[in-house]
Amino acid sequence: MNLSNWVSIILILSTLKPQITTGLSDISQQFLEFAKKDQVFEWMVGIRRKIHENPELGYQEIETSNIIRQELDKLGIYHKHPVAVTGVVGFVGSGEAPFVALRADMDALSLQEMVEWEHKSKVPGKMHACGHDGHVTMLLGAAKILKHHSHLLKGTVVLVFQPAEEGGGGAKVVVDSGYLENVKAIFGLHVSPERPIGQVFSRPGTLMAGSGFFEAVIAGKGGHAAIPQHSIDPILAASNVVVSLQHLVSRETDPLDSQVVTVAKFEGGGAFNVIPDTVTIGGTFRAFSKEGLMRLKQRIEEVIVGQASVHRCNATVEFSSKDKPLYPATINDAGLHKFFEKVAGSVVGLNNVKEMSPFTGAEDFSFYQEVIPGYFYFIGMKNEKNDKPESLHSPFFQLNEDVLPYGAAMQASLAATFLQESQRQSQNSEHKDEL
């Protein structure tokens, strides 16, 4: 190839990148403006409130799935159901590769809502206290944006409406379903009540901890509280177990390797003057690595069984089951972090894209990240009228609906931009092959 040909190719490539970058910024702002339109915003608010009034627990999201499918039908978006028992997977775009996925979790929590408002939960003892009703709405909003701008999609966006995030490991069931086999990347978000609206937060690498649950039955010999020498006291044994379990973090773990063991359940006895036969304790353990999580699992069982034996009791320990699997750590793909910063900056402005510290909450989005490059982030939704917003999983939790357009535009922009960049990389690769 002569020099003039090389110069021509270099000039062409040098002009492509600025055009693409400018185009992506324009697309992101176009998406956000579309999501903020009164009719679109009101549509999202209506969906969110309908879901909020009818909360459903993991793998029971029948009405939620119905709402999702009805809205996808109205948008003319092809979808599959059921996926992972009650889940829905939709497809928008060309129907061909490349594929990128967006995920929203659907399930509510076993909480009685304490906020009095027009659209309070109508189901006693159940509430959307973690914002999943908002997540579903924002993904439907992203679907509406993408469908309206489908001419910009250079591939296919897979819309994953996932059941059972709250302990049920619904993400793993979705992965096992095979619907994501050809997906090149997946993005997920979570609302953050204490962070300013219009800002997004994440980090490369480890973002959240892996987690597991345990439950133990400590058996002794019941009897009259006035003559304890004739009994074998499981309450005393269980009390020592709880104290000893705390030593796993304070005395067996590197202080620079954050881990958590919390006993949150302690049940035994029903009378002030009777020593019970058994006591049941349970809790959670967290670590930022698979090795740390498995070590805690092993030592928790050894400590419970050993301490029970010291107090002449027997103990049986059960860990996370098929219904409540161990969650891996949530680890963001390093390459996708730079991509996320660029796209998020085009939506909300670079000064509103913040890096956060890792924390010991857990997310089953991590199951996707074990098999697909994945990226998870938080989107602020603090209501300026409320100086002290209630935290996630509180019966007083309130979702600020002003966040809905931002989440919808963010997800749509990430998907559309990823497809465009995938196409550009493929074209550049073809040019190299020709050279």
Instruction: Specify the 3-state DSSP secondary structure of 95.
Output: coil
In-domain check, residue 245: yes
In-domain check, residue 64: yes
Say which CATH number the domain at 266 has. Answer: 3.30.70.360
Spatial separation of the C-alpha atoms in residues 101 and 160, rounded to whole Å: 7
Per the structure block, which two tokens stand in for 382?
Answer: 């603090």
The reported pLDDT for the residue numbered 383 is: 84
Confidence of residue 426 (pLDDT cuts 50, 70, 90): confident
pTM, two decimal places: 0.90
DSSP assignments along 376-412, one per residue: EEEEEEE-TT-SSPPPTT-TT----GGGHHHHHHHHH
Spatial separation of the C-alpha atoms in residues 413 and 345, rounded to whole Å: 11
25 and 45 in a single domain? The answer is yes
Average predicted confidence (pLDDT) for the chain: 93
Tens digit of each residue's pLDDT (9 = 90 or more) over 393-407: 999 999 999 999 999
In-domain check, residue 334: yes
The reported pLDDT for the residue numbered 431 is: 55
The mean pLDDT value for 37-43 works out to 98
198 and 345 in a single domain? The answer is yes
Tens digit of each residue's pLDDT (9 = 90 or more) over 155-213: 999 999 999 999 999 999 999 999 999 999 999 999 999 999 999 999 999 999 999 99
The reported pLDDT for the residue numbered 203 is: 98
Residue numbering of the annotated binding site:
130, 132, 166, 190, 393
Query: Which of residues 269 and 18 earns the better pLDDT score?
Result: 269
Pick the last residue of a domain from 319, 353, 380: 319
290 and 384 in a single domain? The answer is no
Instruction: Kindly tell me if the per-residue pLDDT of 13 is higher than 70.
Output: no
334 and 287 in a single domain? The answer is no
Q: Which residues contact 189 (CB under 8 A, 6 or more apart)?
A: 135, 138, 376, 377, 378, 379, 407, 410, 411
150 and 17 in a single domain? The answer is yes
295 and 366 in a single domain? The answer is no
Which residues form the domain of 269? Answer: 210-319
Per the structure block, which two tokens stand in for 2?
Answer: 């002569």
In the sheet where 78-83 sits, what is the strand order?
Answer: 78-83, 87-93, 156-162, 99-105, 183-196, 374-382, 200-202, 353-355
Spatial separation of the C-alpha atoms in residues 305 and 214, rounded to whole Å: 13
Per the structure block, which two tokens stand in for 58?
Answer: 């993991």
Q: How many domains does the chain have?
A: 2
Q: Residue type for 100, please?
A: V
Q: Residue type for 375, please?
A: Y
Spatial separation of the C-alpha atoms in residues 124 and 122, rounded to whole Å: 6
Spatial separation of the C-alpha atoms in residues 35 and 148, rounded to whole Å: 11
Instruction: Kindly tell me if the per-residue pLDDT of 351 is higher than 80.
Output: yes
Pick the last residue of a domain from 296, 319, 342: 319
262 and 248 in a single domain? The answer is yes
215 and 82 in a single domain? The answer is no
Per the structure block, which two tokens stand in for 202?
Answer: 């994440």
- Cα–Cα distances in angstroms (integers) from residue 331 to residues 161, 218, 377, 387, in the given order: 21, 36, 11, 32
Residue numbering of the annotated binding site for Mn(2+):
130, 132, 166, 190, 393
The reported pLDDT for the residue numbered 24 is: 59
Q: Burial letters for 326-343: b for 16+ Cβ neighbours within 10 Å, e otherwise?
A: bbbbbbbbeebbebbbbb
